[in-house]
Structure 1
Amino acid sequence: MGFTLNYKNIVHLMIMILELVVCYGQDFICSRATYYGSPDCLGNPTGSCGYGEYGRTVNDGYVAGVHRPYRNGTGCGACYQVRCKAGSICTDEGVVVVATDFGVGDWVDFLFTARAYSKMARPGFEAELLSYGVVNIEYKRVACTFRGSNMIYSVHPGTKYPHYFAIIIIYPPGLYDVVGAQIWQEDCKEWRPMRKPFGAVWDMENPPRGDLRIRFLFSATGDVNDATWVESPNLIPAYWEAGVNYELAITL
């Protein structure tokens, strides 16, 4: 069966092409977004990034599960400006959300909380936007405003001294991704790679004894071949405890 372009088909195709040009020309990416319900309109405490309760309330609850931006967990903690494309009911600013989970929907890249989804609407139009269910959007990565260019990582609650050590990246640094992590092995005089089991978590079985030196591989593109190692100035004490936070100032 053949396909014939009529006037309506041509106009629709031209509109789609124009939308793509406008989005990418402004460094925005065109996609779609939807939302999910929760009793308190906050995030999912069992999200794929591993943030737990933190992932529910960070950024005043403006959080999202993401699809393509998830990037096997590398995108966890990144911030995105998202603007809906539903005519006059949408604001020019949209909403800035933190990626705290992996989300898959009907060809969508962002699965918002209802709180974050309705933030894209002009005052008084929140209910109308929510009635869409799924809406066209444009988005781009932006620097999180929590700590500027600093990074904060925490000893993961699942760590078990002394046989299993894990950390979780809470605040990624600006527009950089953490694409690698290593711990110094003093007796061998070498850096041992940490594993990335899921989300924002990096871990190691049978870590070195004594204070731990950690360094991170930062990339502005997500590519390990275009990245820079930066050592944390903080030594993690030999008898490490879960839940302790460490901060690393990034200058690249």
Structure 2
Amino acid sequence: LQVRCKDKKLCSGAGARVVVTDRARMKTNRTDLVLSSPAFAAMARPGMAARLTKLRAVDVEYKRVPCEYRGKNLSVRVEERSRAPSELAVRFLYQGGQTDIVAVDVAKVGSSSWKFMTREHGPAWSTRQAPAGPLQFRVVVTGGYDGKWVWADREVLPSRWRAGEVYDTGVQITDVAQEGCFPCDTQEWR
């Protein structure tokens, strides 16, 4: 997202680009985003970062923009709680473009028997039915209204995958989504 705060005395007009990993869904307030301190400070005008970060909460406007990870493919990080061979939890990294991963399947390389994974939060997915052996992944990405399958047509996780390791899928996602519909989308700040 491109995020900027509405206080023109403290904040720059450009705002800051941030990567959203999960959304704040608090019923106790109207918070849409929880930003890290560096991201919060990046919205400030020169010399105003300290004053802005002291506020801790500000009115913002934001718009969705494509993520760019130059020289990086979509990668899979095996989460620490994974237990080979069948209990597998992964987190996707370097998801380029302007899309959402809405479904993930895993299969042994060369097999057509795919096992679905369950979304836990943000980019984290898990299954207790991962097959043994080298593994491949396929994901459904959406950009606006449409979804499409994207998959690594090769081994992503080796037979002896390890928790904490990051594995390159060899896949690039660069699709750009329309916020609403074309030509309706005006790219306005919200």
The alignment partner of 1:142 has SS state of coil
Q: Which residue of 2 aligns with 1:116?
A: 39
Aligned 1:224-243 pairs, distance under 5 A: 226-235=146-155, 236-242=157-163, 243=165
The alignment partner of 2:9 has SS state of helix
Alpha-carbon shift at residue 177 of structure 1 (Å): 0.9
Is this contact kept in 1: 2:6–2:60, CA < 8 A? yes
Q: Which residue of 2 aligns with 1:245?
A: 167
Q: 1:160 to 1:95 in 2, by over 3 A?
A: same
Is this contact kept in 2: 1:209–1:238, CA < 8 A? yes
Is this contact kept in 2: 1:216–1:232, CA < 8 A? no
Q: 1:148 to 1:237 in 2, by over 3 A?
A: closer
Q: 1:232 to 1:116 in 2, by over 3 A?
A: same
TM-score (norm: length of structure 2): 0.75
Please give the alpha-carbon distance, in whole angstroms, between the structure 2 residues aligned to 1:179 and 1:239: 27
- Give the percent of matched residue pairs that are identical in Structure 1 and Structure 2: 32
Is this contact kept in 1: 2:109–2:134, CA < 8 A? no
TM-align CA RMSD: 2.6
User: 5+ unaligned residues in a row in structure 2: which ranges?
Assistant: 176-190
User: 5+ unaligned residues in a row in structure 1: which ranges?
Assistant: 1-79
Please give the alpha-carbon distance, in whole angstroms, between the structure 1 residues aligned to 2:52 and 2:108: 54
Give the aligned residue type for 1:244: V
Q: Number of residue pairs matched? A: 170
Q: Which has the larger radius of gyration?
A: 1
Post-superposition CA distance 1:55-89 (Å, at most 9, x none): xxxxxxxxxxxxxxxxxxxxxxxxx1101111233
**Which structure has the highest helix share of the two?**
1
Alpha-carbon shift at residue 197 of structure 1 (Å): 2.6
Q: Which residue of 2 aligns with 1:98?
A: 19
Q: 1:229 to 1:84 in 2, by over 3 A?
A: same
Aligned 1:136-215 pairs, distance under 5 A: 136-147=59-70, 150-184=73-107, 189-215=112-138
Please give the alpha-carbon distance, in whole angstroms, between the structure 2 residues aligned to 1:173 and 1:155: 19
Post-superposition CA distance 1:108-159 (Å, at most 9, x none): 2122233322221111222333354432211012222324784222222221
Alpha-carbon shift at residue 227 of structure 1 (Å): 0.7
Please give the alpha-carbon distance, in whole angstroms, between the structure 1 residues aligned to 2:67 and 2:107: 29
Post-superposition CA distance 1:188-216 (Å, at most 9, x none): 84322112233322222132222212111
Q: 1:83 to 1:192 in 2, by over 3 A?
A: same
